[in-house]
Amino acid sequence: MGKRALSKSYSISTITALICEVLLAALRPRCWPRTVRELLFKQILFTAVDAFGLIFLVAILAGISIVTQAQVWLSRLGQSTMLGSMLVAIIIREIGPLLVNFIVIGRSGTAVATELANMKVRLEIKVLDAQGIDPMTYLVMPRVIGIVISVVCLAVFFSAISLASGYFVGLAMNVTKGEYSQFVGSVIGAVSPRDIANFLAKTIIPGLTTGVICCITGLEVHGSVTDVPQAATKAVVKSIAAVLVVSALVSVLTYI
């Protein structure tokens, strides 16, 4: 048990240290040459832009599912005006950031871990070192920052689509009454500064953690091609666990 505890504490300290190093490097203009900026844009393109279709579909289905489950209770209570507040509480506070993080882990986290693991197996990391190129600046930083930006943008997009689909489904099921402007007003009124802080914390912190975990797991591979798929699986499992822990901690610290 002591060995496991020490291993876990070392892993957490390594992840935290690398997150701090990535943030510090991102603030230095000299760490953003053209090649690094290109990697950042490619990471955002793959993680965010290419995922818009999937996020759009999941967001619509999430809005439909939530309103379908909520309409029975709202009809019994006669509180149809509460739909906006309920959607804010469920989508913006919890479901939106969580589902987006899971999708990003499944699509991009595995890709990052696999790509870096293959580079490690093919000794490309040593070639970069021999050329005087810092792997942290060239490989890790743009991928982590790209994942963070993508998670925040996708979570905003997911929340907007889910709220819109929830409104129109509620209107069709006679749960929502009134104009769309009234619904938007009720949603805006239900969003507090704590909700915004909670939303940002549940997108930025898990994005940083996911990116760093996937990079570390990929770079830890030692010389065997068979270790690459294991690294991808390990990265997904660790990232999902980290997202769940961070989400729970942020909820407790924000609302209790």
Q: Closest by alpha carbon to 155, among 190, 187, 202, 112?
A: 202
pLDDT tens-digit series, residues 121-172: 888 888 888 887 888 888 999 999 999 999 999 999 999 998 888 888 877 7
The Cα–Cα gap between 126 and 123 comes to: 5
Domain spans of the chain? 2-255
* Residues contacting residue 255 through CB under 8 Å, at least 6 positions apart: 194, 198
| Per-residue pLDDT tens digits of the chain, which is 256 residues long | 667 777 778 788 888 999 999 999 999 989 899 989 999 999 999 999 999 999 999 999 988 888 777 766 665 555 555 667 777 888 888 899 999 999 999 999 999 999 999 988 888 888 888 887 888 888 999 999 999 999 999 999 999 998 888 888 877 776 666 667 777 777 778 888 898 999 999 999 999 999 999 999 998 888 778 888 898 999 999 999 999 999 999 999 988 7
The Cα–Cα gap between 97 and 250 comes to: 12
The pLDDT, as a whole number, for residue 80 is 53
> Is 221 in contact with 113 (CB distance < 8 Å)?
no
